[in-house]
Amino acid sequence: MFPRQLAPALGALLVLAGCTQLPPAPTKPDAQCVCAVCPACPAAAPPKPPAKPLQEARWEGVKGWNDDNLAEAHGALLASCGVLTKQPAWRDVCEEARTLPAENAVLRVFFETRFRPWRVVNPDESTEGLVTGYYEPLLRGSRERSKSFAHAIYGVPDDLLVVDLGELYPELKNFRLRGRLEGRKVVPYWSRAELTPQAPALAGKALLWVADPIELFFLQVQGSGRVELADGRRVRVGYAEQNGHPYQSIGRWLVEQGELKLEQASMQGIQDWARANPRRLNELLNANPSFVFFRELPDNGGGPPGALGVPLVPGRSLAVDPRTIPLGAPVFLATTQPVSGRPLRRLMMAQDTGGAIKGAVRADFFWGFGAEAGAQAGRMRQKGEMWLLLPGALTPDNAAK
């Protein structure tokens, strides 16, 4: 579908330097090397290599493992297995999972005998990372533009090129190049600031029109949502593509500008600031150059589909970085509740990804649909730990393939 000859070009320049004369004699002991002859000083010790992102663990070391009711994760597990069963390493455990009752004790034995836990570790060897939340919002909207509904949800532009680099180079699995053609040259796609309603690329691409631009922005952040029309019907929309620009947090931008304190930069705090400063709204939104395009989805009665292609399960689906966590896999998450700080330790399924979800110990917790879920998701910015659960014979290296 896209030109396969497109590939990244890498260049490197090595500069070697030697000394031409001896430095002055030191007046006191010094840690610096003094060249006795012209050749360069011995090389410094190489930097410490990054830690392995997945390190074998023991069940007794999985924090809170015995506290969770695994029966509540059974449905999400079976949804993942609908995809994973196509892989030989997962087929047996998934077939067995389908035969098991949704009972905590039975599932605990199943996991402890058929799976091994692997602790997720950051490159600096730390084991804690950021856990945020997301949800499926409800917006008011229309099929037609009007004074009340003037902000468009756009479909994918015709000129957006998407190249899956993994199809060209297996080592670049999960990397995609997005851009557009200028003559025979591929250039970056338009940024958010350039994708104005008058942009030719967006002509005829409006799917729906909504009332509130800040709610539309957060719809792009969440990746899916529902739009309620005047007659009461609801239209579900979901992520279709993205413009290729990296996600930048507008909450962090407000903090750096001195407009909000860090603890105020929740979704709710950002919305309040935007409504109090309407003249600076575009400046705020354009601080994030990333722009998400949508498609209409059938309403299946369940959650929105995630990157795995299965409906997300509130409280049991997790968005992860697939460069570390294979999509579909069970992940045990140990974190805390937003606001209350109470322990939140659950068996989750890695069923989604996100533009802001980058790094090993990094996750986004799916809270579900509507205002109550949004209240939790918008305030969630917790520390957390993660353990990937793999079938006994499967290693992280094999799972990545």
Tens-digit pLDDT profile for residues 83-108: 999 999 999 999 999 999 999 999 99
3-class SS at 189? coil
- Of 18-22, 127-131, 290-294, 303-307, the poorest mean pLDDT is in 18-22
- C-alpha closest to that of 207 among 227, 188, 233: 227
Which pLDDT score is estimated for 316?
99
Its pTM stands at 0.84
pLDDT score of 178 more than 80: yes
Token reading at 69: 């009711």
- Count the Cβ atoms, other than its own, within 10 Å of residue 142: 17
Give the span between the Cα atoms of 8 and 309, in whole angstroms. Answer: 28
pLDDT of residue 174: 73
Answer for the pair 244, 179: CB distance below 8 angstroms, yes or no. yes
369 vs 6, more confident: 369
- Residue 134, classed as helix, strand or coil, is strand
Region for residue 96 given its phi and psi (left: phi exceeds 0; alpha: psi -120 to 50; beta: otherwise)? alpha
- Domains of the chain and CATH, by start: 65-248+288-398 (2.40.40.10), 254-285 (no CATH)
Q: Which residues contact 292 (CB under 8 A, 6 or more apart)?
A: 220, 223, 239, 241, 242, 243, 355
Q: Can you name the residues that pair with 213 across neighbouring β-strands?
A: none
- Cα distance from N-terminal residue to C-terminal residue, the chain: 24
